[in-house]
Amino acid sequence: MKIMILGSEGYMGWPTSVNQCSQGHEILMIDNNIKKSLMRNHKRKPLVNQKSINARLLYLKKRFKNKVTFSNIDCSNLNKLESVFKKFKPDTVIHYAELPSAPYSMIGSKEGWLTLENNLKSTFNLISCVKKYNKDCHIIKLGTMGEYGTPNIDIEEGWLSVKHNKRIDKFMYPRQGSSLYHTSKIMDTDLLWFYVRLYELRVTDLMQGPVYGIYYSDNDDSKYLPTFSYDDIFGTVLNRFIVQAVVGIPLTIYGTGHQIRGYINLKDSLKCINLAIKNPAKKGQMEIYNQFTEQYSVNQIAKKVRNALSRININVKLQKISNPRIERNKHYYNARNDKMKKLGLHAELLDESTIVEIAEYVMKHKANIDKKFIKPRMKW
């Protein structure tokens, strides 16, 4: 297959690129490094800097021998995206080219608008290319479980059957984001659904929960791991907690710690991408999967980190701090995630050895950790 990966430099994008090369596909990686430059502007750094794109391309070519190229393209620029799309002619596009941070999107109006503009434009431009040049091309878009919010009823996979005045219809499950980032993802879902309904595009939307981990297969080369963020703006909760534990900072539990989310290991996330590629949405169909494997509250995650790291003699302290976000502290949460399992997903569980494995990686790079950027500074 010919696969285009938009946002190939990110935490998900690079491991996906390696993984898709390992499946023998021809790959075009696309990124304009916007996240890296925003991180630099805010003085945040990943735990380890990635090797240059040229070094990584060489690694992919040597290891897998298949055709792989990279283009530094801003997907929010339609002309540029069109020119690479019509030349490469992808069978599948995996779309990660979106700003992924809820705290970043809530810093102020400029950051909020940049998130909305970047995410909507890249999605819209991708749709335009597919509609104009190849309506059969399968779009796999990374959505987020956070689009659903925390409703007081079970969360279905994408769709909800509604009975009203004795009639029944199926609608997209109600969305209610709790940041402008999450709202941008709701808006692009709506754009995709519009084009699926009107022009019979083929779209898979993967509603992913917070991802954790650093390894993406059982034989990763340690020099080519993804960028791992632990700071207050770009890091996600479990990765952050492990870094905090390693440097002896009490784990920053926001609010009561009763917020529940659906979590997924990076390795499983890649398995889901492969399942989505092998089971493409049909013409005129929007397939929606809830992409998480286990539900935990923040308190449960913190306790898991404490128990696991006691095995390697790290004494972890927990601390409840005032929640910098506006989100429900105590709420019902029960989300379905049957569809990926039905396609054959066997999940990695968040057990102690998984947490220890990530902590051991973090310990190797402990000297790089900047403690200044651990406590949350963005409030909304």
- Which residues are the active-site residues? 144, 181, 185
Distance CA(82)–CA(132), nearest Å, equals 9
CB nearer to ligand USQ: pick between 259 and 354: 259
Alpha helices in 48-108 (DSSP H): 53-64, 78-88, 102-105
Does residue 101 belong to the site contacting ligand USQ (CB under 6 A)?
yes
Distance CA(56)–CA(53), nearest Å, equals 5
Q: How far is the CB of 74 from ligand USQ (least distance, A)?
A: 20
CB nearer to ligand USQ: pick between 135 and 258: 258
> Binding residue for ligand USQ (CB under 6 A) from 119, 122, 144, 354?
144
Structure tokens at 257: 């710690």
Number of residues lying near ligand USQ (CB under 6 A): 20
Find the part of the chain contacting ligand USQ (CB under 6 A) among 72-80, 106-114, 250-258, 309-317: 250-258
Does residue 213 belong to the site contacting ligand USQ (CB under 6 A)?
no
CB nearer to ligand USQ: pick between 86 and 379: 379
Q: How far is the CB of 131 from ligand USQ (least distance, A)?
A: 26
Does residue 291 belong to the site contacting ligand USQ (CB under 6 A)?
no
CB nearer to ligand USQ: pick between 144 and 354: 144
Distance CA(126)–CA(73), nearest Å, equals 12
Neighbours of 113 (CB within 10 A): 12
Q: Return the residue nearest ligand USQ (CB atom).
A: 146
Distance CA(18)–CA(14), nearest Å, equals 6
Separation in Å, CA 55 to CA 47, 61, 69, 70, 127? 19, 10, 12, 12, 31
> Binding residue for ligand USQ (CB under 6 A) from 209, 213, 226, 280?
209
Does residue 380 belong to the site contacting ligand USQ (CB under 6 A)?
no
Q: How far is the CB of 331 from ligand USQ (least distance, A)?
A: 10
Q: Match 């069978």 to its residue by tokens.
A: 91
CB nearer to ligand USQ: pick between 16 and 101: 101
Does residue 35 belong to the site contacting ligand USQ (CB under 6 A)?
no
Does residue 298 belong to the site contacting ligand USQ (CB under 6 A)?
yes
> Binding residue for ligand USQ (CB under 6 A) from 92, 236, 291, 354?
236
Round to the nearest angstrom and report the end-to-end CA distance of the chain. Answer: 44
Separation in Å, CA 374 to CA 91, 105, 183, 240? 41, 18, 25, 8
Distance CA(195)–CA(202), nearest Å, equals 9
Closest residue by Cα to residue 193 from 223, 210, 177, 170: 170
Largest CA distance in the chain: 64
Q: How far is the CB of 221 from ligand USQ (least distance, A)?
A: 26
Structure tokens at 148: 């659903």
Q: How far is the CB of 177 from ligand USQ (least distance, A)?
A: 8
Does residue 183 belong to the site contacting ligand USQ (CB under 6 A)?
no
Find the part of the chain contacting ligand USQ (CB under 6 A) among 117-125, 253-261, 342-350, 360-368: 253-261
Find the part of the chain contacting ligand USQ (CB under 6 A) among 97-105, 106-114, 215-223, 358-366: 97-105
Does residue 237 belong to the site contacting ligand USQ (CB under 6 A)?
yes
Does residue 252 belong to the site contacting ligand USQ (CB under 6 A)?
yes
Alpha helices in the chain (DSSP H): 13-22, 34-41, 53-64, 78-88, 102-105, 109-133, 180-199, 237-247, 266-278, 298-310, 338-343, 352-364
Q: How far is the CB of 82 from ligand USQ (least distance, A)?
A: 27
Distance CA(319)–CA(321), nearest Å, equals 6
Interface with ligand USQ by CB under 6 A: which residues? 100-102, 144-146, 182, 209-210, 236-237, 240, 252-254, 259, 261, 298, 325, 327
